[in-house]
Amino acid sequence: MDSKEVPNWILSLEMVDIEFVKKFVLNSGSLKEIAKLYDVSYPTVRTRLDKLIQKIEINEREENEEFISFIKKLSIDDRISLEDAKLIVEKYKKERDDV
């Protein structure tokens, strides 16, 4: 898969989230196994998965926002850095939410 084909929801995740997804898949989606791996309780893993689901859902909603999509496309096309894109999007969200 070409890096330009990587879905935006994956690009929006932090490395710790991607590692969690990897472990989740490698353990056939067993939250009990993930709890053992992380040495935490099942409810803790369930909460973490729920938060990850929310991150992905939020990203999907934001994909429909034209400005955010434009900034992400600039980053994907290497016209601006990923770090700059994140800063621009965060500033935009803050100003949008303050209105």
Domains observed in the chain: 1-64 (1.10.10), 65-99 (no CATH)
pTM value surpassing 0.85: no
Confidence of residue 15 (pLDDT cuts 50, 70, 90): very high
Per-residue confidence (pLDDT) for residue 66, from 0 to 100: 80
Count of beta carbons in the 10 Å neighbourhood of residue 37 = 15
Please state the rounded mean pLDDT for residues 70-81.
Answer: 86
Per-residue confidence (pLDDT) for residue 63, from 0 to 100: 66
Extract the tokens encoding 53: 């689901």
According to DSSP, residue 27 is labeled T
Reply yes or no on whether the pLDDT at 14 is more than 70: yes
How far is residue 41 CA from its own chain's centroid? 23
Distances from the Cα of 91 to the Cα of 16, 44, 77, 94, 97, angstroms: 24, 31, 21, 5, 10
